């Protein structure tokens, strides 16, 4: 794979990052840990060496699974995790009510206070079974904590050698500007896909101008852009996707029309729609590495093939034209 440099560092990331949200179980209707381990192993064995997780994914479960899987392979992987979504204290901004993997009610808060960030990092290091994290990211902004304070915590962790680089997620341009003034920010992780392109207007130009990479998540639009989830699909209990905008009946049908219009490209190349979608995302400006989840090894191996080809300018133009015809109601 043609690895890409994490901006401002000598760390090389694989062009596809294994996104470990779903393997935490929480929010995705459960997950099979054995299959998750096989998925991560398949990723590493096939060149996807960058892994992104977060404490809140299963209330520590995703980080624990990742840590158990990469034990003994630390020098082969780049570990990315986050902080700032807490469930064991009521600080900061209330985010939402949920249930953990055992069905216990949990309140999640967004909180990025300096001491909390440092303590969260320590817990993540233990779950991941490592003494350093390659990229530690603020999961969400928090209105009760000045972002300058949060960046000071990350600077301390860099000085201590516990993290190698600092990143943010879901951060608008104004806050990103303030954060970058305190500490060089390597990346901003944001929702971005063929059907969700809102960051292209302001965020992409800003990141390109300031040498900040974008780590797009939800690039397959929670599985919708694989073409495998048809209208009327029955999801497992606890799966959040039916309540998201793109899975509403009208939008779902509109996206399916787009997929039908670009299916011929996939057919001619003998690739899947998922591979086409990931490759399209990889080729967009400012993209450092595309986050893609996989519940099992077969899904991961399918995703890996997205890095084995490059869509032509003509193919990209056909895709972009099809996207212009889409009429979403969001």
Which residues are part of the catalytic machinery?
57
The structure tokens listed for 155 are 């600077």
Which residue in this structure is represented by tokens 């793109």? 246
Buried b (16+ CB within 10 A) or exposed e, 274-307: bbbbbbbbbebebbbbbbbbbbbbebbbbbbbbb
Q: Where are the beta strands (DSSP E) in the chain?
A: 4-5, 12-13, 16-19, 50-52, 78-83, 85-86, 93-99, 105-110, 135-138, 166-169, 187-191, 213-217, 290-293
Strand order of the β-sheet with 85-86 is 85-86, 105-110, 93-99
Contacts of 15 (CB under 8 A, 6+ apart): 1, 2, 3, 4, 282, 289, 290, 307
Contacts of 123 (CB under 8 A, 6+ apart): 55, 60
The total of other beta-carbon atoms located within 10 Å of residue 210's CB is 15
Q: Is 204 helix (H, G, I), strand (E, B) or coil?
A: helix
The CA distance from 305 to 302, in Å, is 6
Q: Is 33 helix (H, G, I), strand (E, B) or coil?
A: helix
């Amino acid at each position: 794979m043609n690895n890409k440099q994490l901006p401002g560092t000598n760390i090389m990331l694989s062009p596809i990052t294994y996104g470990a949200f779903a393997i935490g179980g929480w929010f995705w209707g459960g997950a099979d840990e054995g299959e998750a381990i096989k998925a991560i192993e398949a990723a590493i064995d096939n060149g996807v060496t960058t892994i992104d997780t977060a404490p809140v994914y299963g209330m520590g479960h995703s980080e624990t699974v990742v840590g158990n899987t990469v034990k003994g392979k630390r020098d082969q992987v780049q570990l990315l995790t986050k902080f700032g979504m807490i469930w064991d204290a009521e600080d900061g901004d209330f985010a939402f009510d949920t249930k953990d993997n055992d069905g216990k009610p949990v309140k999640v808060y967004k909180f990025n206070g300096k001491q909390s960030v440092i303590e969260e990092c320590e817990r993540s290091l233990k779950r991941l079974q490592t003494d350093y994290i390659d990229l530690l990211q603020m999961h969400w902004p928090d209105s009760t904590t000045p972002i300058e304070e949060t960046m000071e915590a990350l600077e301390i962790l860099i000085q201590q050698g516990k993290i190698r680089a600092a990143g943010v997620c879901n951060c608008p341009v104004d806050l990103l500007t303030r954060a970058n003034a305190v500490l060089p920010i390597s990346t901003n992780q944001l929702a971005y896909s063929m059907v969700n392109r809102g960051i292209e207007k302001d965020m992409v130009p800003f990141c390109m101008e300031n040498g900040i990479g974008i780590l797009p998540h939800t690039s397959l639009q929670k599985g919708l852009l694989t073409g495998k989830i048809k209208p009327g699909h029955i999801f497992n209990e606890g799966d959040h996707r039916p309540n998201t905008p793109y899975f509403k009946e009208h939008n779902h049908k509109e996206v399916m029309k787009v997929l039908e219009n670009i299916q011929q490209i996939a057919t001619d190349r003998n690739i899947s729609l998922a591979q086409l979608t990931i490759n399209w995302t990889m080729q967009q400006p400012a993209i450092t590495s595309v986050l893609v989840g996989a519940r099992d090894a077969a899904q991961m191996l399918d995703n890996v093939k997205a890095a084995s080809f490059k869509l032509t300018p003509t193919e990209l133009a056909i895709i972009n034209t099809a996207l212009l015809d889409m009429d979403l109601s969001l």
